[in-house]
Amino acid sequence: MDLELSGHVAVVTGGASGIGRACVEAFEREGCRVAVWDKNGPGKVDVSSAESVADALRETESRLGPVRHLVHAAAMGSGKFGFPFLNLAAGDWGRVLEVNIMGMLHVAQALAPGMMERRMGSMVFIGSVAGQIGSQTDPPYSASKAANINFAQCLAKDLASHGVRVNTVNPGMVKTPLNQAVWQAWYERQPDGLRRSYEEWAAEKIKAVAPLARWQEPAEIADMVAFLSSSRASAVTGQTINVDGGQVMHW
């Protein structure tokens, strides 16, 4: 299917790895010019800094032209096993909320005015099923993703009359560095007799929560993101779409 994205300019935050990288590749296959904003990328864009985001936007538009599509995949977890939540101190929350919530705000504030002025554009935010089911594994991450879902709906309402669509895509179980970090935090808190390898832990979890009983691939998330960014989804805004193997339905 031709998504008619050829020649458009897209920004992908968190695009150096994982789902963000898959989104970069999906847009490039469709003929987009893509700017990668990532703290670990060449430009070292820190979404938790409004100044860093503003600088990145100026450089991107001077190099590639006006940004028509945003995919916001930059996020982080606490790096600790949060069940029960009392395992985490208040100080374990701050950086997660700064990156995952304020980062989303900074990116939206930077890109929305240009899209509104041109009366066209799309924003897709990468959420998580953790933001819908209250995953106890990492409460700061879960809470921040719930906030992302809600704020995306606010943006969708605010920007609809300006021709800008906003949606959220929630992955389920995907093999990414962030997912493996969740396992690592769990593993370090277990006694020797209860520890399981990443593959064993993940296989058990997938079987328990996802009716399709398999990993979701980053490319599968990216395919949905590209579709939602295209004119094929011109009537779709304010939606939260799960690409999760049926996990939330199961819950």
Q: Which residues are catalytic?
A: 141
Q: Do residues 161 and 116 touch, judged by C-beta distance below 8 A? A: no
Chain Cα centroid distance, residue 210: 20
Q: By three-state DSSP, how is residue 206 classified?
A: helix
Contacts of 161 (CB under 8 A, 6+ apart): none
143 beta partners: none
- Tokens matching residue 96: 């997660």
Nearest Cα neighbor of 155 from 117, 107, 118, 94 is 107
Q: Do residues 110 and 57 touch, judged by C-beta distance below 8 A? A: yes
Q: Do residues 144 and 96 touch, judged by C-beta distance below 8 A? A: yes
Phi, psi angles (nearest 5°) of residue 176: -135, 165
DSSP state of 9: E
Dist CA 122 CA 224 (whole Å): 13
Rounded to the nearest 10 degrees, what angle do helices 103-118 and 139-159 cross at? 20
Q: Do residues 70 and 106 touch, judged by C-beta distance below 8 A? A: no
- Tokens matching residue 208: 């328990």
